[in-house]
Amino acid sequence: MIRLQWWQEPCQPLDHVARSKALARQQQLTKPAGSLGQLEHLAVHLAALQGRERPSVTQLWIAIFAGDHGVVAEGVSAYPQEVTGQMLRNFVTGGAAISVMARQLDAALEVVDLGTAVPLEALPGVRHLHVGAGTQNFRRGPAMTQAQVLIALEAGRDSVQRARQAGAELFIGGEMGIGNTTSATALACCLLDCPVVDLVGPGTGLDSAGVAHKREVIEAALALHGPDIQAPIDALVRLGGFEVAALVGAYLACAQRGLPAMVDGFICSVAALLAVRLNPACREWLIFAHSGAEPGHQRVLDAMQAEPLLALGLRLGEGSGAALAVPLLQLACHLHNDMATFAEAAVAERPA
């Protein structure tokens, strides 16, 4: 088991004074109490996270972590592995969905390549870390070495540090890696002690026969590694991916450095679950963007008592669902900060 456990350091506490002031303000705004539903809770929670009565999410940092998966050799993906590297180019040249969203949101977009199966030239705008040529095939052995897991966790932590230095008010993690729904499903089944059949899905578009084969591969991997998984970090070593580990490190670092994080879809939510299992206090710093189309996503969200903001049938990844939810978060802040109080608008309050 890995001994160096920076991720277990304390998370930042919530500011309960700011929360109380924000809650009091909500009760004074010109609307029936609770009429804006989850938007009110979001604004108050953000106030507690940011330590100010009037929260803001105008400065955005989006980090896309990419890595390939050796388990693709088992025929679990509808796409070949060279797509991972091709999408890295697409991210930085502005053609990917998340690239479009980042431009529209005026967000900083960072792309981190942890290791692709097909060698890549140095791409302008991409941080190439070369942790390995993708993970190993976890159907046959551990996906990563302990050293690789540490490097990947630290890659996520380092991205959060850059976000903080840039003045970010919200962190969004995204992922790219052919085969990563197989890894995420295996991890979720392990952490939740669920039958694979309950969580496995089509990923990037497998047909029913492909999903059945994917289930068999995951079941065999869980049988192989089960006796050696004694802790969440063991599951990450045995079944995870470079980009999944980076997301885990990022979510933990967000909580430790006091930066709210918006969690994207199935793969990101599994990484969030791992982060919560490693350091439960980080849960307060995670805001969940959406409930996606992958069958296991809702089960993972339920395990963290998460209430996602959207349900649009998304299954793209890349942080795209989290980016889509940002305007809701921003409007929650504007409504909280800019609406008039009953006194300011000279509107009669409800009688006591």
DSSP tag of 263: E
Find the farthest-apart pair of alpha carbons in the chain and give their distance in angstroms, rounded: 70
Q: For residue 243, count other CB atoms closer than 10 A to its CB.
A: 35
Catalytic residue among 154, 175, 318, 349: 318
Annotated catalytic, 121?
no
Residue 268's nearest CA partner among 323, 229, 221 is 323
Residue 291's nearest CA partner among 261, 248, 259, 324 is 324
* Alpha-helix runs per DSSP H in the chain: 16-26, 38-50, 82-93, 97-105, 146-165, 180-192, 196-199, 208-225, 232-239, 242-257, 266-278, 297-303, 320-338, 342-345
Residues 6+ apart with CB under 8 A from 25: 53, 54, 336, 341
Report yes or no: 294 and 300 within 8 Å, Cβ to Cβ: no
Torsion of CA 217, 218, 220, 226, to 10 degrees: 160
* Distance (Å, whole) CA 298 – CA 269: 9
* Distance (Å, whole) CA 2 – CA 323: 34
Helix (H, G, I), strand (E, B) or coil at 341: strand
Report yes or no: 68 and 135 within 8 Å, Cβ to Cβ: yes
Report yes or no: 139 and 145 within 8 Å, Cβ to Cβ: no
Helix (H, G, I), strand (E, B) or coil at 108: strand
Catalytic residues: 318
